[in-house]
Amino acid sequence: MIKQLLTLGIIFAVLLIIPFASAQSFEKATFQESAIIIFDQKFSESIIASIGFETTDNNEIRFSEETIQKINNNEKIRSIVITNVGQCVIGVTEDEQCVLVNFDYQQLKGDGGIRQVQDSAKEMSKELVDGINKTFGFNAKFHSTFIHTVDDANILLETSGAVSGRGSVSATYTMPKQSTDFLFLDLAGKLIPKSIRDAEGFYDIAKKLSKNDDSIISISIIRNDNSNLLMFKVTNEIKDESMDISKIDPLDELGIDSISRSNIFDEKNAPLNSVIQVIVIPTEQSQIDAISTHAITDLTSLENISKKGWFFSSPAGNKIDARFLFGIDKLATADELKIEIGSWDGQSQMSFYSVEDIQQESEYKSIEDFSKDNSDEEDQSQYLILGIIIVAAIGATMFYLKGYKPKH
C-alpha cells in the first residue's frame, strides 16, 4: 500500500499538483538563486558557504549559441566546467585554473581502450575550448585527459554527478590562476545580464563572497536533452575544527545580518525561485530542536507557502537538510533563520510534515511541541507522499552535495 501511494504521489506531484499550483497561483521563472551553507562537523571540519545562480534559459546566463550548439551536437559530452579551484584534477597545481570538458567514459571507449579514450577526449574538446578561450579571453592549453575513478572532482565542484568519478572523463585545459573577485566581475559581466547584476539581493552577496581570499568560482553547462542547465556559483570554505552546531546562524557565515531576494522577482509571484539551504553533517546523529519561523508543510497551499519559513527535507539523522523559502516576503533576517540542533537517539518517531505554525517568530519553539504522532499506516503514507511532493517542487534543479572529502 505504501509503495503504491508513494508512486502515485510522485506522479501526482510532477504531472498535476505543481503545474496546477504554478498556473493558478505562482509564476514559472527559469532563473533560480540559492544560498547554501554546509556545516560539515564530521568529515572536512569546515563551513562551506556558497551563492549560486542557475537557469535553463541561455538569455539569463549567456553562453554563445556556438558553444551551446557544439555541446548539443555531441551526445558524448556531459558538461563543461570553468573553475579556479586549485588542483581541479590530479597533476594540476594550486596556481592553475581549469576548463574541463567532461565525457561519458563508455561512450568514448567504444571498442577501443584507454588510448582511444584519451585521444577522443582531446580531439573532441579542442574546438570547444578554442571557442571558450576566444569568448572569455582565456589562454587555456591542453593539460591532460583525466579518467575519474572516485567522486572527488564532483564533490569539490558540487556539480551533482556531471563531473563525477566512475564513468566520466575530463579533457583538462589549464591556465594561470586568477583571483575569484577578478574572475567574478569579468565572467559575470560577460555571462549575466545587467538586469540581474543590478538586482541586488543574492548577486550582491555573491560579489561580496568572491572577495574572500579562499573563495572559488565555478561556471558550468550541464548537458540535458531538453534544455541545458547553466550554473554560476561562488563558494567559500572556512576550516573550523571546533565548530558548535547546537545553535546555527546561517547568515553569519555569509557575513550579513539579513538577506533579500533579487529585485528581478519584485513583479513576479515566484516563491520557489529563491532558496536558502542549510546542510549539517554532525559527528553523531542529531535532530532539529527549534526554529524561529513558520514550518512549511504543503507547497500546494497558497496560504502555507505565502509565509516565510523552513521545509525540513531531512530533519534528523547523520545529515540535516533544511530549506528556507521567503513566501510573499522579500527579506529574511538572521534572527528568523536561526536553528537549534540537539542529539537524537536514532529511534524516536518524528512527524515533521504535520507541524503547526509557530505563532511567535521572535521565540524558539520545540519541535516536540508542534509534532503529532501518526502511528496509523495510512497517515504515515500520506505524510511520506507530502514530503516527496515538497522535495520535487523545490529540489528539481537545486545543487545536491553527493559526498564529502575525508579530512586529512
Give the C-alpha distances (Å, rounded to integers) separating 278 from 281, 287, 329, 337, 383.
10, 13, 19, 10, 22
Q: Could you give the CA distance from residue 182 to residue 162 in angstroms, rounded to a whole number?
A: 26
Q: Is residue 35 part of a domain?
A: yes
What is Dmax (Cα atoms) for the chain? 66
Q: Could you give the CA distance from residue 273 to residue 42 in angstroms, rounded to a whole number?
A: 30
Q: Is residue 266 part of a domain?
A: yes
- CA 101, 106, 109, 110 torsion: positive or negative? negative
pLDDT of residue 96: 96
Low-confidence residues in the chain, pLDDT < 50: 1-24, 152-164, 351-408
Q: Is residue 294 part of a domain?
A: yes
pLDDT of residue 395: 33
Of 75, 163, 90, 171, nearest to 123 by C-alpha is: 171
pTM of the model: 0.79
Of 82, 102, 96, 88, nearest to 234 by C-alpha is: 82
Q: Is residue 102 part of a domain?
A: no
Domain count, the chain: 1
pLDDT of residue 327: 87
pLDDT of residue 24: 45
Q: Could you give the CA distance from residue 17 to residue 393 in angstroms, rounded to a whole number?
A: 9
Q: Is residue 226 part of a domain?
A: no
Q: What is the pLDDT of residues 34-65, one digit of tens each?
A: 999 999 998 889 999 999 999 999 999 999 99
Q: Is residue 345 part of a domain?
A: yes
Q: Is residue 272 part of a domain?
A: yes
Structural domain that includes position 342: 1-54+236-408
Give the bridge partners for 260, in sequence order: 331
Q: Judge contact between 74 and 57, C-beta under 8 A.
A: no
